[in-house]
Structure 1
Amino acid sequence: MRHPRAGRQPHGAMAARSRPPAPPAWMRWLPVLYVVALLVIEPVTPTDWPVSFALIAVPLVTAFASGPVVVAGATVFSVLFEGVLAGTPCCAGRSVGYLWDRHYVASYICTALVGALGTVLAAHRIRRERTLADVRFVADIAQRVLLRPVPHRIGGLLMESLYLSAAAEARIGGDLYEAVPTPYGVRLLIGDVRGKGLLAVETAAALLGAFREAAHDEPDLPALVDRAERSMNRRAAQLGGNEVGERFVTAVFAEIPADGHLVRVVNCGHPPPLLIRPGEVSELDRGRSAPPLNLGMLVGDPYHVDVYDFRPGDQLLLYTDGITETRGPDGSFYPLLQRLRSWGPLAPHDLLERLHNDLLAYSGNRRQDDTAALAVHLPAEEPPARSAPAAG
């Protein structure tokens, strides 16, 4: 899960991002708490079964959160402390003669062996954590290439993007978005690739590449969508087998011209965008959605362009079905329209931040699908400054 609007990383950030995350504080303090518990229990135990033998577990407990050097130190401490407890007369009446009792010597040897094992395990854990940190860092870079953060402002439009992964370990998936300034206005895309995994990521990358290129070349929105459709057809043909008929993408293409307060929309089987105005939230849907990309050949009809007013103060929200299909504990779907109407007008960043937090709270942080959203706001025109009256 994540919001990709993070600032640019400096070149030296790679080392910091590659470090394994620090373990929680309770895990670092667990060996100390374990020893304290043994000291509390030791005086009341029978002479024949001293709890000091349980110190054999200290190296392994330490290995959960510490490196090999700390585990080795914990091993030395455990062996010496076992000897101290064995030779302390006040501990349940035992005498110094117990110090070299064969049972204690066997305990010292076992503790040393367990400590050596814990040291090896700790070293292996550190290597695995560093490898995982490196992989996640590379995934972050891949996401910033595939789903690069949209600019905060393009011309007179304010923008914000949101991406949430269904799995905490994941970074990228099949949901996608983009905003491109062109000579024909700002062109927007949001989409959802059918399926999961690497094929979905590759398909999303192919669509984004086609859109970013064609957005500057095609003079009208249907031609842009047709070009994306042909790109997806070629992509599906390369997969071979039954993937040709099953690999498709639902998408919304939108265009906001620089010289007019309107928005043009072509919907290809995707949840309709929402238009947010003070006191009003409505779906931009006239029932003329085209098939998803790569399924257009099944119909063959031209793409319909729906035109809507986009006045100063309006906000456009494009989103994937990961939002509306988020389920609460009772199985009910997330009521997006009701939530937006109750919140009232919000700036793009505040809107997506509140939506992000509300989705996590509604689902109990148990979302089943990736989520992407793109908010575009046309600020209200400020009234012209009143000129001061001329002096008489």
Structure 2
Amino acid sequence: MDVRRSAAGVRQPWQSSHALLLIPIVLIVVITVVDQLVPADVHLGPLLVIAPAITASFAGAWLTGLVGFLAVAAQAYIGWHFGVLFTRNVLVQILALAVLSALTVFYCVMRERRQRQLAQVRMVAETAQHVLLWPLPERIGPMNIACLYLAAEAEAQIGGDLYAATPTDNGVRVMIGDVRGKGLSAVGEAALLIGAFREAAHHHTTLPDLAAALERSVARNLPNLGSDEDLGERFATVMLVEIPDDGHVTRVLSCGHPPPLLLSAGSAVTVPVHPAPPLGIHGPSPGEYTVDVFSFEPGDTLLLYTDGVIEARDTGGIFYPLADRAVRWAGSSPERLLHHIRRDLLDHVGGRLDDDAALIAFCRTPSALRGHRHGAGLHLGGLGHGTKPVPG
């Protein structure tokens, strides 16, 4: 399927170029014919330079060169028709047209070279994105998953926002975060944090221990990524989520990150969190972190996002109302939900974001955890590491 789509994408520009090629050819014919019909003191031959100039806007070097050759031939024919082919004026016109056509072809060659370079850069960026942000599977355990990444840099596929999810022995652990800065300058810090999470998520039994391990990794490696001048201003906000395979209780730990949204039928509730400082600013001990607990029922959708979403402004300076908009599509699949949010968000900002933005949507399938539903709504709890047990 993808191969056929790629082939169709190649054929369509080629066919379009051939259709548009009629415009400069017809233009050459019209100028040549009209030049023979107008009074002798009116010379339309110099207008033939328009033909290769138009062709360069939609075709490559070969077609542009062909049209340029036809334009030069038409200019020579006009001179031959009037018997002045070898006069100085006509020879200069032919030479000037040939030089301008050659310059236009040279421009096409350089443009195609830059397009190939840009395509190569985009391919490298997409490869780097897949290495850094592994594509999340469509399903992990009892949940359907979809993710969305919108980079602020026009030609970038990656930036300072990050996410990762990994299955563990007891469920799924998810991280979404935002390092200071945006675009390519923040990629190194995002890579550091994702690598640390993928390893530490399997070696620490509680979210506070995991957060402390990430803090140690950031504090140990962050100085190696940049100059000492801005070291105090480099940090990352992170939201850690633990979704067990059994039971309806879900745990979250925020390190300065915006709280998640819990979408149910006709409602969107912001999960209250007690955020700790962002990673890289102050490293509390595991006992100082607060884990917030809520009920994530079958049929509900949990939406994680970065501040690039909720801080996106329209032309009037109004922030994007994520909760108000997301509730419209609360019953949609994660993929459709993010599709609607992406379109609505870009419409809100006028087509381009000023900051990187990332979203992840998790939906418990209605068939999951049958017999474990204990009512709707949030069941909140604030508990530090190793404190009171979580209600089942």
Q: TM-score, normalised by structure 1?
A: 0.84
Matched residue, 1:71: 64
Q: 1:40 to 1:357 in 2, by over 3 A?
A: farther
Give the Å deviation of 1:344: 3.4
User: 2:331 pairs with 326, 342, 345, which one?
Assistant: 345
Matched residue, 1:216: 202
CA distance in 1, matches of 2:83, 2:34: 22
Greater shift after overlay, 191-200 or 52-61?
52-61
Matched residue, 2:343: 357
After TM superposition, the structure 1 = structure 2 runs for residues 350-389 of structure 1, keeping only pairs within 5 Å, are 350-381=336-367
Give the Å deviation of 1:303: 0.9
Tell me if structure 2 keeps the 8 A contact 1:56–1:111: yes
CA distance in 2, matches of 1:37, 1:212: 67
SS state at 1:271 partner? coil
Q: 1:137 to 1:24 in 2, by over 3 A?
A: farther
Tell me if structure 1 keeps the 8 A contact 2:238–2:279: yes
Matched residue, 2:143: 157
Q: 1:102 to 1:342 in 2, by over 3 A?
A: same
Tell me if structure 2 keeps the 8 A contact 1:57–1:111: no
Give the Å deviation of 1:322: 1.4
Matched residue, 2:379: none
Matched residue, 1:229: 215
After TM superposition, the structure 1 = structure 2 runs for residues 242-321 of structure 1, keeping only pairs within 5 Å, are 242-286=229-273, 288-297=274-283, 302-321=288-307
Quick one: which amino acid aligns to residue 268 of structure 1? C
Quick one: which amino acid aligns to residue 316 of structure 1? L
Tell me if structure 2 keeps the 8 A contact 1:326–1:368: yes
Greater shift after overlay, 26-35 or 271-280?
26-35
Q: 1:134 to 1:253 in 2, by over 3 A?
A: same
SS state at 2:201 partner? helix
CA distance in 2, matches of 1:33, 1:163: 46
CA distance in 1, matches of 2:109, 2:245: 59
| 1:186-215, Cα deviation, whole Å (9 max, x unpaired) | 001111111134441000000000000011
User: 1:84 pairs with 62, 67, 77, which one?
Assistant: 77
Q: 1:366 to 1:346 in 2, by over 3 A?
A: same
CA distance in 2, matches of 1:189, 1:246: 22
Quick one: which amino acid aligns to residue 159 of structure 1? I
| 1:72-105, Cα deviation, whole Å (9 max, x unpaired) | 22222011111334455xxxxxxx2244432221
After TM superposition, the structure 1 = structure 2 runs for residues 321-332 of structure 1, keeping only pairs within 5 Å, are 321-332=307-318
Matched residue, 2:122: 136
Q: 1:34 to 1:211 in 2, by over 3 A?
A: farther
CA distance in 1, matches of 2:350, 2:166: 35
Q: Which runs of 5+ in 2 are unaligned?
A: 371-392
Q: 1:233 to 1:41 in 2, by over 3 A?
A: farther
RMSD of Structure 2 on Structure 1 (CA): 3.0
Give the Å deviation of 1:308: 0.5
Q: 1:39 to 1:168 in 2, by over 3 A?
A: farther
Tell me if structure 2 keeps the 8 A contact 1:56–1:110: no
Q: 1:273 to 1:39 in 2, by over 3 A?
A: farther
Q: 1:28 to 1:192 in 2, by over 3 A?
A: farther
| 1:267-320, Cα deviation, whole Å (9 max, x unpaired) | 11111100111122111124x211111112489971100010111111110001
Tell me if structure 2 keeps the 8 A contact 1:291–1:299: no
Quick one: which amino acid aligns to residue 53 of structure 1? P
Give the Å deviation of 1:65: 3.4
Matched residue, 1:92: none
Matched residue, 1:54: 47
Q: 1:276 to 1:50 in 2, by over 3 A?
A: same
CA distance in 1, matches of 2:307, 2:369: 39
- Percent identity of paired positions between Structure 1 and Structure 2: 41
Tell me if structure 2 keeps the 8 A contact 1:146–1:205: yes
Q: 1:324 to 1:164 in 2, by over 3 A?
A: same
Tell me if structure 2 keeps the 8 A contact 1:147–1:178: yes
Tell me if structure 2 keeps the 8 A contact 1:203–1:235: no
SS state at 2:83 partner? helix
Tell me if structure 1 keeps the 8 A contact 2:211–2:286: no
Give the Å deviation of 1:362: 1.9
Q: TM-score, normalised by structure 2?
A: 0.84
SS state at 1:217 partner? coil
CA distance in 2, matches of 1:176, 1:36: 58
Quick one: which amino acid aligns to residue 266 of structure 1? L
Query: How many residues in Structure 1 have an aligned counterpart in Structure 2?
Result: 364
Give the Å deviation of 1:221: 0.7
SS state at 1:191 partner? strand
In the alignment, structure 1 residue 180 sits paired with structure 2 residue 166: yes
